[in-house]
Amino acid sequence: MPLPVHWVNQQPDSSLSTLDRGFAYGDGVFETLRCHRGRFHLLEQHLQRLQLGCERLEIPCPHESLRLHLHDASNYLRSQELADATLRLTVTRGSALENECGRGYAGAHGAPNVVLSLYSARLPWRAAPPPLHLICHRTPLATQPLLAGIKHCNRLEQVLAAKAVQRVGADEAIMLNQAGRPVSAVAANLFLVIGNNLYTPDLSECGVAGTVRGVILEHLADACMIHVEQRALELEELYQAQELILSNSLVGIQSVASVESQHFSTTRVADKLRSCFFDWVDAQAQ
């Protein structure tokens, strides 16, 4: 059986109840994982963020069954000898009860639904992907500290931004917050190289705290001997940076070639980080 394959609550299935609250309200969280030779990259980081998301949304996180699900998916990839794949893992609050108690935002529901989808993937491994051309997206992200950082399923802002990117033929976009400060790209986190320092926007008001971003902050900056810091960044700093870098769980580390008419000519720090990143991923596999 080729990819994609889907599981719903550990059964092979590609359909879900219309009463699922993920469908009704985007009432859930998800993770997108890269898989190489049956092993999921940054698995613990993804599971930690999923758990944080569940806590924030008051969804009981089905830890035990998640591990079993992932084990099944990994076995499937090995049995099919599929070296590369991506996995979308979604946990929703559950399906609304079929009676009147199930109605509405606080309606009664069953246990969380867990949906896994495995897709085929051709992603670069260690090789540098081509630097990206970005636009600056005009619609700022909403401020909602309650939902900031986690990867919940309310993603209309990203959907509309991604469509705007596609419309003009760009690769990605800088997303701004309500104060006009850069937050991230649409589907990646953002790092600025200024001098020998690496800066990434603070995500306490909006944005998603990416797993690769977390690894850079906690492990790679040290390994690469570069000082790294999270803080509020001004848009002018972005345009004045020597180098811009995006991080994302599927591609890893990507360089930015341009934002609007501003070009960035060096990829020095990105290349170094990418090399450190894949070393780190390999070391985790030992």
Cβ 219 to a second copy, closest distance in Å?
A: 27
Max distance between CA atoms of the chain, in angstroms, equals 61
Question: Pick from 184, 193, 185: which is nearest to 268 by CA?
Answer: 193
150/241 with CB nearer a second copy: 150
Give the strand pairing for 252-259 and 132-136.
parallel
The two tokens of residue 183 are 């937050």
Tell me how crowded residue 201 is: count the other CB atoms within 10 A of its CB. Answer: 25
Phi, psi of 197 (to 5 degrees): -115, 150
What value, to the nearest 5°, has the Cα angle with vertex 259 and ends 257 and 260? 125
Report in angstroms how near the CB of residue 92 gets to a second copy at its nearest: 8
Tell me how far the alpha carbon of residue 177 is from its chain's centroid. Answer: 18
- Supply the minimum distance, in Å, between the C-beta of residue 71 and a second copy: 20
Decide whether 71 or 103 has the Cβ nearer to a second copy: 103
206, 186 contact by CB (below 8 A): no
At residue 120, the 3 state secondary structure works out as: strand
Helix (H, G, I), strand (E, B) or coil at 54: helix
Nearer to a second copy, 223 or 251 (CB): 251
Taking the complex as a whole, how short is the minimal distance between the CB of residue 172 and a second copy, in angstroms? 10
For 95, the token pair is 């399906």
Residues in the chain: 286
Closest distance to a second copy from the beta carbon of 24 (Å): 7
- Beta carbon of residue 213, minimum distance to a second copy (angstroms, whole number): 18
Q: Which is nearer to a second copy, 194 or 251 (CB)?
A: 251
- Report yes or no: 200 and 212 within 8 Å, Cβ to Cβ: no
Cβ proximity to a second copy, 22 vs 221, nearer residue: 22
* For a second copy, the closer CB: 66 or 241: 66
Of 25 and 278, which has the nearer Cβ to a second copy?
25
| Binding residues for a second copy (CB under 8 A) | 4, 6, 8, 13-27, 30, 57-58, 86, 88, 90, 92-93, 98, 100, 103-106, 115, 117, 119-122, 139, 142-144, 146-147, 152-163, 165-166, 178, 186-187
- State the minimum distance, in angstroms, from the CB of residue 95 to a second copy: 10
Over 20-45, what HEC string results? EHHHHHCCEEEEEEEEECCEECCHHH
